Amino acid sequence: MDADTPTEEVLDELFGTIESRKAELPEDSYTTTLFTHEKGENYVLEKLGEEMTETILAAKDDDREELLYESADLVYHLLVLLSMKDASLDDLREELKARF
């Protein structure tokens, strides 16, 4: 991720990186392991559950720093799942917009 990326564009850049890793499957990438794990999609679903639990625990402990850290992990794994399902950030934005 580029350190010069404006804050409001971070999710777009992250999703672009996820999509690139999905297409190229570089060997040294954690994202690649999520797309190629022997458990398949279930592995990402398990990771989402794990990150959600850690996010909840951080919130219950009133630990803001840990809450933000775990929330970032949760969002990352959610974006990987969206990519696996051929959904985009624009799809997510449209769904959110439809709710307001």
State the CATH number of the domain containing residue 85: 1.10.287.1080
> What is the pLDDT at residue 45?
98
Instruction: Flag residues of the chain having pLDDT under 50.
Output: none
pLDDT attached to residue 67: 98
Has residue 48 been placed in a domain?
yes
Domain-embedded: residue 42: yes
What pLDDT is attached to residue 69?
Answer: 98
CB 78 within 8 A of CB 89: no
Domain extent for 54: 7-98
Burial of 6 (0-12, 13-18, 19+ CB in 10 A): exposed
Residue 38 half-sphere exposure, CB side, CA atoms within 13 Å?
0
25 within a domain of the structure (yes/no)? yes
Whether residue 35 is contained in a domain is answered as yes
1 in a structural domain: no
Contact 51, 22 (CB under 8 A): no
Number of structural domains the chain divides into? 1
Counting Cβ atoms within 10 Å, is residue 80 exposed (0-12), middle (13-18) or buried (19+)?
Answer: buried
- Can you give the pLDDT at residue 10? 95
Please indicate, yes or no, if residue 2 is contained in any of the structural domains.
no
Q: What is the pLDDT of residue 97?
A: 96
